[in-house]
């Protein structure tokens, strides 16, 4: 098959890739975007919470919102819960959200193909796709998640990761808080119960070293919440996945004449403490799209400016979270250590 030239090739059509593709197309450049998933957003690998502020970045967000979140409740070991009011957010239907963003990319003129994966990137910067196409782009946007092929090609790899497991269960009483469970028995992560109408996402993340403990951790949490009559026994769904927790990577590099930009999880933008990465994926996808267009227009400083923008927007929060995470991992944490390492407590935010 002959070589296809395009301005921008986007790898991945999650929130980062879909937003990047839409942005590039809106600026009038040609863009091909691919995702190995057959259906946008499926299977869902997410607890589906986003802060309300994301509404500023995503038009028609309500199409994918399933319920509102007003507060956060944190349980530290067996202590009485601490309630943080004024924690506004939304629980999404993540599959609908991703599909909505891909729809916006298509409507903007991006050529999006599902069910196609990027197999390899050659030393000349040509991307070989699973459908046999060979693409020679001016810019590759690597929005292909925690184990990014584009990232690997420029030596930017998420090495620190968290393993997760999540079940969806019936929720017995309407709830408008995200419940967080902190314990020394959930090493390198935390447990969560996020309500979504009459069901809830119940899960946990841990350091990969303790992956074998994930199933019993989630099982114990499930039993505890059943005993409180908060949730039902039936498991309606199950998922999991990796979350990068090492902080920001260098989000640009070159392969021969091809410029590579990384966005979202591929750039290490997930918060190392909370694991949240949807908002950062959307925002960085947009910025990567703009940087790609500027690069094509001849602005040689655009990739570095993109890196600086990411650092300005996310750097301080990621650095603090990473510091808290590393400090917690260094010892067998007591309750005060756990509180100092969680965003709901003022001590998290002090030096
Ligand atoms: C269990 C779990 C719960 C989470 N809960 C939350 C939460 O509640 N709130 C929150 O904000 N964040 C949460 N996150 C993190 C959030 O899901 C990610 O930060 C977010 O999806 C990042 O978006 P992205 O577009 O960068 O990457 P992704 O959404 O991972 O999208 C990357 C896409 O690239 C595709 N891809 C990968 N490799 C290739 C290839 N070679 N060729 C073609 N396509 C490829 C994948 O199929 C995928 O669709 C959670 C993560 C996990 C695992």
At 252, which CATH number? 3.50.50.60
DSSP 351: -
- Indicate which atom in ligand 1 lies nearest the CA of residue 144: 34
Residue 196: closest CA among 45, 40, 49? 49
Residues 47 and 190 in one domain: no
Percent of the chain with pLDDT over 70: 100
Residues 278 and 313 in one domain: yes
Measured from CB, residues less than 6 Å from any atom of ligand 1 are 11-17, 34-37, 45-50, 117-118, 143-145, 149, 164, 166, 203, 240-241, 243, 264-266, 270, 275-278, 281
Residues 142 and 254 in one domain: yes
At 197, which CATH number? 3.30.9.10
Q: How confident is the model at residue 239 (pLDDT cuts 50, 70, 90)?
A: very high
Atom 12 (ligand 1) nearest CA: 276
Map tokens 């069910």 to a residue. 115
Looking at per-residue pLDDT, the higher value among 1 and 331 belongs to: 331
At residue 2, the pLDDT reads 76
Residues 26 and 57 in one domain: yes
Residues 174 and 318 in one domain: no
Average pLDDT over residues 149-170: 98
pTM of the model: 0.98
Q: How many CB atoms lie within 10 A of CB 32?
A: 23
Residues 38 and 171 in one domain: no
70 in a structural domain:
no
At residue 153, the pLDDT reads 98
* Cα(145) to centroid(ligand 1), Å: 5
Residues 291 and 172 in one domain: no
- Which of 20, 23, 35 gets mutated to test ligand 1 (max ligand atoms within 8 A of its CB)? 35
61-71 pLDDT, tens digit each: 999 999 999 99
22-53 pLDDT, tens digit each: 999 999 999 999 999 999 999 999 999 999 99
74 in a structural domain:
no
127 in a structural domain:
yes
At residue 276, the pLDDT reads 98
Tell me which residue range forms the domain holding 20. Answer: 3-65+93-159+246-326
282-301 pLDDT, tens digit each: 999 999 999 999 999 999 99
Atom 16 (ligand 1) nearest CA: 277
Number of structural domains in the chain: 2
297 in a structural domain:
yes
251 in a structural domain:
yes
275 in a structural domain:
yes
4-22 pLDDT, tens digit each: 999 999 999 999 999 999 9
Residues 123 and 266 in one domain: yes
135 in a structural domain:
yes
User: In sequence order, what DSSP letters do the residues of 174-205 get, joined into one string?
Assistant: ---EEEEEE-TTSTTS-EEEEEETTEEEEEEE
Residues 284 and 167 in one domain: no
Q: Which residues contact 169 (CB under 8 A, 6 or more apart)?
A: 199, 200, 202, 222, 225, 231, 232, 233, 234, 235, 236
Average pLDDT over residues 264-290: 98
81 in a structural domain:
no
Map tokens 């021969």 to a residue. 256
Average pLDDT over residues 271-278: 98
Residues 20 and 100 in one domain: yes
Residues 199 and 299 in one domain: no
- Which of 33, 239, 275, 318 gets mutated to test ligand 1 (max ligand atoms within 8 A of its CB)? 275
* Cα(224) to centroid(ligand 1), Å: 29
* Cα(298) to centroid(ligand 1), Å: 31
Atom 27 (ligand 1) nearest CA: 145
Residues 21 and 132 in one domain: yes
At residue 60, the pLDDT reads 93
């Amino acid at each position: 098959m002959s070589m296809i030239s395009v301005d921008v090739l986007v790898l991945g059509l999650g929130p980062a890739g879909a937003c990047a593709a839409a942005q590039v197309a809106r600026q009038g450049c040609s863009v091909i975007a691919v995702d190995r998933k057959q259906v946008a957003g499926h299977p869902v690998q997410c607890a589906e919470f986003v802060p309300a502020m994301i509404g500023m970045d995503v038009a028609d967000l309500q199409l994918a919102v399933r319920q509102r979140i007003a507060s956060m409740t944190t349980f530290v070991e067996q202590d009485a819960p601490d309630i943080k009011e004024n924690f506004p957010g939304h629980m999404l239907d993540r599959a609908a959200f991703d599909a909505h963003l891909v729809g916006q990319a298509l409507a903007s003129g991006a050529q999006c193909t599902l069910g196609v994966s990027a197999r390899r990137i050659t030393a000349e910067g040509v991307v070989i796709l699973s459908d046999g196409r060979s693409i020679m782009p001016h810019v590759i946007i690597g929005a292909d998640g925690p184990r990014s092929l584009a990232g690997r090609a420029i030596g930017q790899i998420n090495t620190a990761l968290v393993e997760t497991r999540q079940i969806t269960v019936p929720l017995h009483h309407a709830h408008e808080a995200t419940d967080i469970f902190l314990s020394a028995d959930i090493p390198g992560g935390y447990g969560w119960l996020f309500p979504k109408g009459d069901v809830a996402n119940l899960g946990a993340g841990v350091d990969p070293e303790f992956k074998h403990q994930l199933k019993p951790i989630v099982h114990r949490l499930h039993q505890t919440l059943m005993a409180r009559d908060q949730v039902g026994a039936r498991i309606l769904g199950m998922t999991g996945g990796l979350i990068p927790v090492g902080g920001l990577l260098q989000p640009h590099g070159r392969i021969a004449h091809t410029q590579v930009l990384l966005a979202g999880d591929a750039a290490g933008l997930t918060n190392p403490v909370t694991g949240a990465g949807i908002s950062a994926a959307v925002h960085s996808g947009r910025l990567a799209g703009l940087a790609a267009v500027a690069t094509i227009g001849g602005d040689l400083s655009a990739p570095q400016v993109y890196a600086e923008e990411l650092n300005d927007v996310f750097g301080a929060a990621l650095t603090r979270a990473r510091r808290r995470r590393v400090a917690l991992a260094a010892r067998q944490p007591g309750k005060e250590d756990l509180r100092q390492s969680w965003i709901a407590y003022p001590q998290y935010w002090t030096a």
